């Protein structure tokens, strides 16, 4: 009996180690990214501006700027409370400078590519860093500094070699120019590995309890007769209200997970309050009496949540509770808007001779054109 227990314990420990999971301490991953998007001309679509910029801490928006209001504003109440007015004023000037920089570079690329200036083109920049935290130890994981043009990779920074990489031949002139400015590459590497990490840690210290400790998922299982085959039901597992967004959700039959290729997934979607939701569904026979449940694991949970289906179902027009319905509707709307915007930008979619450096609220802005 004792040998059996020891064997089981060894197997469990081995699985944890093979999966890269510490039984006592879980490695946390955190990120800070800034995304800048510039269009070659205005677009008559609600909420779409010629230039936008936003900061994302662990995929949660913390600040925002657009070419209409031209103000860098906080998107989290703790950012507004903790950051001084001077931070937002200097940040606004930095974003205005970047807006002008992007406007110039979009024109440069349109000419370099031989594109029609009357068509819509998009230039986007994403830069930031990721860290891993184990207990009190914080380790730099990776930095990203990359540009895309019309939805395709254009130019990126290799942090290890401190060189620019040009996957697009049209980016080679920019790569040669920027690689010949050592101070630019030194700054970029230093920002990704040190300054960005410092800001990430500072913002997390400032953040609210939900950001620091996360938010546990609410789990619901329900079934509806919404299929073309009237003898079948659609069984759905919904996990909502969790943060951060990394989550494991499985639909199980007799405690055995169903293959993912048999399961329909919504993908992780944002809720209106900064948390996330994930919905998975599978078709089952209406008269099936099998035991189904929903298995959800999240870092805020000491152990997985297992919610059994009670065997009840409703017609497709049946209502859910208000809380769940609102969460689903908001998630679908946000997901749909994001999908439409991304698709539109994708379908419709750096030569200067000098550079300078400007200090804004501790952030160096390089004005070196493509």
If asked whether residues 195 and 234 sit together in one domain, one would say: no
Note whether residue 74 is domain-resident. Answer: yes
Note whether residue 3 is domain-resident. Answer: no
Note whether residue 194 is domain-resident. Answer: yes
Q: What is the mean pLDDT of residues 249-256?
A: 94
pLDDT: which is higher, 309 or 353: 309
* Length of the chain measured in residues: 370
If asked whether residues 312 and 173 sit together in one domain, one would say: no
Q: Report the C-alpha gap between 143 and 146 in whole angstroms.
A: 10
Note whether residue 11 is domain-resident. Answer: no
Q: Report the C-alpha gap between 36 and 24 in whole angstroms.
A: 39
Note whether residue 152 is domain-resident. Answer: yes
Q: What is the mean pLDDT of residues 225-245?
A: 86
Residue 191: pLDDT band with limits 50, 70, 90: very high
If asked whether residues 164 and 31 sit together in one domain, one would say: yes
The C-alpha angle 132, 84, 68, rounded to 5 degrees, equals 90
- For residues 52 and 345, the answer to whether their CB atoms sit within 8 Å is no
If asked whether residues 238 and 268 sit together in one domain, one would say: yes
Residue 139: pLDDT band with limits 50, 70, 90: very high
- For residues 12 and 283, the answer to whether their CB atoms sit within 8 Å is no
If asked whether residues 139 and 175 sit together in one domain, one would say: yes
Least-confidence region, from 6-20, 242-256, 307-321: 6-20
Residue 174: pLDDT band with limits 50, 70, 90: very high
If asked whether residues 140 and 170 sit together in one domain, one would say: yes
If asked whether residues 174 and 274 sit together in one domain, one would say: no
Residue 86: pLDDT band with limits 50, 70, 90: very high
Q: Report the C-alpha gap between 308 and 125 in whole angstroms.
A: 45
Q: Alpha helix locations (H) across 114-230?
A: 172-179, 182-190, 196-206, 209-213
Q: Is 49 helix (H, G, I), strand (E, B) or coil?
A: coil
* CATH number of the domain within which 253 lies: 2.60.40.10
Residue 44 structural domain: 26-211+343-366
Tens-digit pLDDT profile for residues 93-113? 999 999 999 999 999 999 999
Q: What is the mean pLDDT of residues 298-305?
A: 92
If asked whether residues 189 and 40 sit together in one domain, one would say: yes
If asked whether residues 193 and 251 sit together in one domain, one would say: no
Q: Report the C-alpha gap between 282 and 260 in whole angstroms.
A: 10
If asked whether residues 93 and 31 sit together in one domain, one would say: yes
Q: Which tokens hold the place of 113? A: 């590519």
Q: What is the mean pLDDT of residues 44-54?
A: 93
Beta bridge partners of residue 215, listed in sequence order: 243
If asked whether residues 30 and 44 sit together in one domain, one would say: yes
Residue 331 confidence (pLDDT) above 80 = no
Q: Is the dihedral of CA 30, 156, 64, 328 positive or negative?
A: negative
- For residues 217 and 294, the answer to whether their CB atoms sit within 8 Å is no
Q: What is the mean pLDDT of residues 283-304?
A: 90
Q: Report the C-alpha gap between 183 and 173 in whole angstroms.
A: 18
Note whether residue 5 is domain-resident. Answer: no
- For residues 268 and 335, the answer to whether their CB atoms sit within 8 Å is no
* Cα pseudo-dihedral 214, 28, 140, 128, rounded to 10: -40
Total tally of structural domains belonging to the chain? 2
Q: C-alpha 211: how far from its chain's center? A: 15
If asked whether residues 160 and 245 sit together in one domain, one would say: no
Q: Report the C-alpha gap between 27 and 272 in whole angstroms.
A: 28
| Burial class of residue 176 (count of CB atoms within 10 Å of its CB; 0-12, 13-18, 19+) | exposed
Note whether residue 324 is domain-resident. Answer: no
How large a percentage of the chain has pLDDT more than 90?
59
* CATH number of the domain within which 172 lies: 3.30.500.10
Q: Which tokens hold the place of 33? A: 């990214």
Note whether residue 338 is domain-resident. Answer: no
């Amino acid at each position: 009996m004792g040998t059996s227990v020891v064997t089981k314990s060894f197997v469990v420990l081995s699985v944890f180690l093979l999966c890269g999971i510490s039984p006592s301490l879980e490695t946390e991953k955190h990120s800070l990214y800034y995304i800048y998007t510039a269009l070659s001309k205005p677009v008559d679509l609600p909420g779409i501006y010629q230039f936008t910029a936003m900061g994302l801490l662990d995929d949660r928006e913390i600040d925002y700027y657009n070419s209409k209001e031209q103000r860098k504003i906080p998107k989290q109440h703790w950012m507004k409370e903790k950051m001084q007015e001077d931070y937002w004023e200097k940040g606004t000037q930095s974003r205005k400078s970047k807006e002008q920089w992007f406007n110039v570079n979009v024109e440069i690329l349109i000419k370099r590519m031989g594109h029609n200036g009357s068509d819509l083109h998009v230039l986007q920049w994403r830069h930031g860093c990721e860290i891993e935290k184990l207990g009190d130890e914080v380790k730099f994981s990776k930095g990203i500094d990359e540009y895309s043009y019309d939805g395709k990779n254009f130019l990126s920074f290799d942090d290890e070699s401190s060189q620019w990489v040009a996957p697009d031949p049209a980016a080679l002139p920019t790569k040669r120019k920027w690689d010949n400015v050592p101070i630019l590459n030194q700054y970029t590497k230093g920002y990704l590995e040190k300054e960005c990490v410092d800001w990430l840690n500072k913002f997390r210290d400032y953040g609210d309890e939900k950001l620091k400790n996360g938010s546990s998922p609410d789990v619901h299982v329900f079934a509806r007769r919404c299929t073309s085959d009237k003898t079948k039901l659609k069984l759905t597992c919904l996990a909502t209200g969790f943060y951060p967004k990394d989550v494991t959700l499985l639909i199980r039959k007799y405690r055995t997970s169903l293959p993912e290729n048999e399961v329909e997934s919504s993908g992780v979607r944002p809720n209106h309050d900064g948390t996330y939701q994930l919905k998975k569904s599978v078709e089952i026979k209406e008269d099936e009496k099998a035991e189904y449940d929903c298995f959800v694991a999240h870092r805020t949970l000491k152990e997985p949540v297992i919610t059994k289906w009670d065997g009840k179902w409703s017609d497709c027009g049946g209502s859910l509770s208000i809380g769940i319905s609102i969460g689903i509707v908001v998630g679908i709307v946000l997901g749909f808007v994001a999908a439409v915007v991304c698709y539109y930008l994708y379908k419709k979619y750096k030569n200067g001779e000098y550079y300078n450096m400007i200090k804004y609220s501790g952030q160096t802005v390089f004005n070196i054109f493509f």
